[in-house]
Structure 1
Amino acid sequence: MIVYTVGTFDLLHVGHLALLEYCKSLGGVLAVGVASDRVVNSYKPNVPVIPLEQRMEMLSALRCVDIVRPYDELEYVSGCEALKADIFVIGEDWGKAPHNLAVESYLKSAGKQIRQVLYNPRTSSTTIKQNVVAQVNNAQNLSTAVA
């Protein structure tokens, strides 16, 4: 059984770990697709903080992850086909964009499963980035007040 999930995986955190461990519990092999900076920039205002190669290296080091592959187009059918994925795991923010509908249609026609998971409320890359910016701003305000 091959489980496939995709994401940016910028600023690896406990929410990512919970997702990946859940995915691994669904089958024998966990494959993780990692979005290139170009893909991320197509739907988010900023590219990741951590370069693609380093994000892939960190994911490869996790014992629950068996395969790590980049993807440079915002589509998932080719990854599912190449990996012969049995289960495709998606997040709660999955919408009705054409690339999402295409992989849903492919999976259904191929008799494969799609599983949707809720995000871990403990943290997110966006929250981490916001906290870092707030800390930098507070430090700058303190240094200006002292000067």
Structure 2
Amino acid sequence: MVVYTVGTFDLLHVGHLALLEYCGTLGNVVAVGVASDSVVNSYKPNVPVIPLDQRTEMLQALRCVDIVRPYHELDYVSGCKALDVDIFVVGEDWGKNPHNIAVETYLKSQGKKIIQVLYSPRTSSTNIKQKTIAQAHSKNYMQQSVA
């Protein structure tokens, strides 16, 4: 069984690992779709910190990942078709956007499953970025105060 999940996978962290390892419990092939910078920028204000080729390389190095497939359009149906996906794993923020509804409709028509998971409470790329920015501002403030 092919299990497919998608995401940005910027600043790879333990939450990502937990998701990918969970996917491995659902089937024997874990395929990961990695959003290109332009795809991410279509729904988030900033592009990823780590370039797509490096995010792809990091995911390929993980033993819990079998296939890494970058995607350059906000369309999950093509990935599901190309990989002959049995289970599509999505995050808790899965919404009713047209691209989400399209893949749900496709998978249901094929008798395939969508499983929604909660994000890891341990960390997130957004939290890592916010903490990094806060620390940088704090350091700059302290340097200016000393001067």
User: If the length of structure 1 is used for normalisation, what is the TM-score?
Assistant: 1.00
Question: Which consecutive residues of structure 2, in runs of 5 or more, have no partner in the other structure?
Answer: none
> d(CA) in 1 for partners of 2:16 and 2:75?
21
> d(CA) in 2 for partners of 1:70 and 1:143?
41
> d(CA) in 2 for partners of 1:115 and 1:101?
14
Q: What's the counterpart of residue 24 of structure 2?
A: 24
SS in 2 for 1:140: helix
SS in 2 for 1:143: helix
SS in 2 for 1:88: strand
Q: What's the counterpart of residue 84 of structure 1?
A: 84
Q: What's the counterpart of residue 71 of structure 1?
A: 71
Q: What's the counterpart of residue 112 of structure 1?
A: 112
Q: Which amino acid aligns with 1:136?
A: A
Runs of 4+ with deviation above 2 angstroms: none
SS in 1 for 2:74: coil
User: If the length of structure 2 is used for normalisation, what is the TM-score?
Assistant: 1.00
**How many residues are paired up?**
147
Q: Provide Cα deviations, 1:85-137, integer angstroms capped at 9, x if missing partner.
A: 00000000000000000000000000001000000011000000000000000
> d(CA) in 2 for partners of 1:113 and 1:139?
48
Q: What's the counterpart of residue 138 of structure 1?
A: 138
Instruction: Tell me how large the CA RMSD over aligned residues is.
Output: 0.3
Question: Which consecutive residues of structure 1, in runs of 5 or more, have no partner in the other structure?
Answer: none
> d(CA) in 2 for partners of 1:129 and 1:59?
20
